[in-house]
Each structure stands twice: as structure tokens, then as C-alpha cells.
Amino acid sequence: MATIEDVAKLAGLSRTTVSRVINDQPYVTDDKKQRIIDAMKSLGYVPNSSARRLRRRCTETIAVLLPRITNPFFGKLIESMEKEASRNGYQVIVCQTHDDKQKELDYLQLLKTKQVDGVVMASLINDWQDIEPYLASGPIVLCNEYRPAHGVSMIHIDHKQAAYESTSHLIREGCEHLAYVTGGHDTFIASERKAGFLAALAENDLEFDPKMEVDWALDVGDGQKVFQYLIEHHPHVDGVFTGSDEVAAGIVYAAGQSRWSIPEDLAVIGFDNQMLSLLMVPAITTIEQPVEDMAAKTIEVLVAKMNDKGPAQERRFVYPHELIVRSSTNRKQMVSQSAPL
């Protein structure tokens, strides 16, 4: 097995110079760097990454906290982050909190105990006052999740505006009895979305029945249960805002099984523009987030912070979203097509 001395001998340079190149240190000419790289390739020499990380006092590892990887939105987000992190020489570990406050704090201990160099929080359940002390142990960046906070950069869309636009669209399509379906109300995002939903209702002089709010729906199965709950307790419902394409798909499927017509009897809107939303019949109206761009910016900001090259002032990057209208809400067109000639 080749050693660093073998590389130095073949390159005709000192062991110190080889070590400088391996550890990406300055004061080595491009010519010498190339000679060392060529010698390493020729000998099949692979630097000891563990020793290098120990010398640099870093782990070259980023922790990403999210609720559950089975949600396609977070799956795509973590995939995009991993690609960008790898380009910057970092690896990513996925930490699923399952919306558990203690698990979230337990994972943040990885930063405190120097097992990771930085943390991305794609979800945030605890109060910020419980998170903020961890900033003293290393950089944290919020992606997707956000809230009024100091000392941390945030990358996200405007969830309040997205919910407002979605709800306004349902109202324009003739919906008057709207249900609000979410996976929980403990996050700032959830409160922002509900605020947008209520703002659209108020703007159109529509009242909201709190009993038509569901705060436990996370997946397709839950969506089917939501539909059964609504038709049993609120049969007058004619529109549903959901915070998930999975939940919306479950509602659409269950409606079809019960011979409810989508969107004539019930208009349904999702969130995140997952592939599932396009494959359903009818296809589901949804909100699209620029996941890849958000992920790349998150890693860029975090890497800069970890390398002490980021701006002193933390920044907020608000990305544009898009309301993608499909058949699950297109009630007026359905009515016009069914009208007698």
C-alpha cells in the first residue's frame, strides 16, 4: 500500500509539500500540485480522510433535520442537498424527528458534541428560545421552515401568500364551504398557512367553521379518513385546502370511491407539486416550491458559515412559488362544459 513518503518520492518533492496539498493548504504552486496529484493517481494513494478531518478539527458532515423522509417533498429536498453538499466536500446525514420535540433537541446535540459541522433544519417543532443556544456550538440554517428569529439564515417560500392564493382560487371557482386540512399546528409554517387561508375567506366575506379544520392529516391514508370525516359531519363542504399532495390524493381517491365528483361536488387543492398530484385522476391543483434552488442555496449558505466566509449579517431568502391549476379545482370549466347548448 502506497504511503505519503512514496508520493513525495515519485513527485520529487518533500513530504511536507505533499501534506500541504492533501490538506488543501496554501503556498504550493500549481505545478507542484499537479505533480503530487499525478503521483497519487499513479500509486493509487488515497489520503486518510479521518486523520485529515481530525487535523482540521472538522467532520465534513452536515446534519439535516426533517419530519419524515417518506414525504416526497423532503425526499427531493434531501437528495438535492446531498448533491450540493458532495460538490463542496461534505456528506449529509438524515435525522428524522417525526415531529418529536425531544428528538429534535437530541439531534442538535450532534452539533454541540462536534459530531457534525453544521445543521440544516427543514422542520422546527421546539420554541426558538430552546433552539437558539445551540448556535453557540456551530452554524444552523433553516430551510423550508422559518420564523421570527435572530442569528440564523432562512431559505423558504412565502407560505402565507401561497395559502392565500390557493384559497382565493377555490373561492373564485365557486367554493363557499371550505375545509382546512393540515398535518399539525405546532410550527410557524402551519400558522402562516392558516393565516393566509383565513385572510382569503375574510376578503370574500366568508366565515370559517372551526369544526371543518383537521390538524392530523399527513399521508394518503389520512386523506381518505379526512374525506369520510367531512362527508359525515360536514356534508355541505365544497372545497378543501390541504398542506400536502399526499393528503389531497387520499381525499380525491376516497371521493371517487364514494361517487363524489371532483371538482363539481368537491374541489381539492394540494401542496408541493409531487408527482402523485399529476398522476391522480383528476390531476390535483397544487403549489410548487423551487426545491432544488432552495436546497442549493441552503448548502451554499451553510458551507460559507462553516468556513467562516459567510456574511456577518444573517440573511433571509424568500423564493417564488407557483400555483399550478389542474382539474381537481376547475369547477367553472366543468359547469360550462356540462351546460346545455
> What is the CB neighbour count within 10 angstroms for residue 202?
11
Which residues are 63's β-sheet partners? 93, 119
pLDDT tens-place string over residues 293-340: 999 999 999 999 998 866 667 889 999 999 999 999 998 776 555 544
Give, rounded to a whole angstrom, the gap between the first and last alpha carbons of the chain.
84
Give the C-alpha separation, 228 to 235, whole Å: 10
User: Which residue has better confidence, 237 or 341?
Assistant: 237
pLDDT at 341: 46
Per-residue confidence band for 19, with pLDDT thresholds at 50, 70 and 90 = confident
Please state at what angle helix 30-43 crosses helix 15-22, rounded to 10 degrees. 90
Mean pLDDT of 192-199: 97
Give the C-alpha separation, 297 to 122, whole Å: 13
Mean pLDDT of 198-215: 96
pLDDT at 54: 45
> What is the CB neighbour count within 10 angstroms for residue 173?
21
pLDDT at 45: 83
For residue 77 the three cell numbers come to: 429536498
Q: pLDDT averaged over the chain?
A: 90
Mean pLDDT of 53-78: 85
Mean pLDDT of 4-26: 85
pLDDT tens-place string over residues 84-107: 999 988 999 999 999 899 999 999
pTM of the model: 0.82
